[in-house]
Amino acid sequence: MRPPVNDAVVAKYKALEESEVPGEYSHKRFAPHVGSDFQLAAAGTTCRLENVGDIFATTGPPGDFVSFSLVFSAAAGSPVESAIHTLKHPVLGEFDLFLSPIGPGDKKLYLEAICCRRV
């Protein structure tokens, strides 16, 4: 069971997003691109950003952290393994993400990345 979302930490993160450095892995950066295609360079395939998960915040002795997930889909049978992959997007440019297959659907392979940031 997930602990309750810490609203104060989420507010702190959203303030950071407003002053983010270009290229940061932020919820705000990816959310407008749900439904758009990304090239997976090494796999030689295309994947689609299906979902940008809700922001999840935790507080603990090491500090305050926020995380969110990115779920992509690719064609079933695509040669994508758990690894750091270089993705290319016409607006977001080229960047690396650790992607893991989270299960095949009827006609798709689903991949997930978890973005976590200390605030």
CA-based angle 81:2:17, to the nearest 5?
Answer: 70
Q: Is 78 helix (H, G, I), strand (E, B) or coil?
A: coil
Cβ-contact 66, 16 below 8 angstroms: no
Would you identify the CATH topology of the domain 7-118? Elongation Factor Tu (Ef-tu); domain 3 (2.40.30)
Convert the pLDDT of each residue in 4-31 to its tens digit.
Answer: 566 766 666 566 555 555 557 888 889 9
pTM for the whole structure? 0.80
Any idea where the domains of the chain sit in the sequence? 7-118
Upper half-sphere CA count for residue 13 (Cβ side, 13 Å): 28
Task: Tell me the per-residue pLDDT of 49-89, one tens digit each, with 9 for 90 and over.
Answer: 999 998 888 887 777 888 899 999 999 888 888 999 999 99
What's the number of CA atoms in the CB half-sphere (13 Å) around residue 112? 10
| Nearest one of 61, 52, 45 to 115, comparing CA atoms | 52
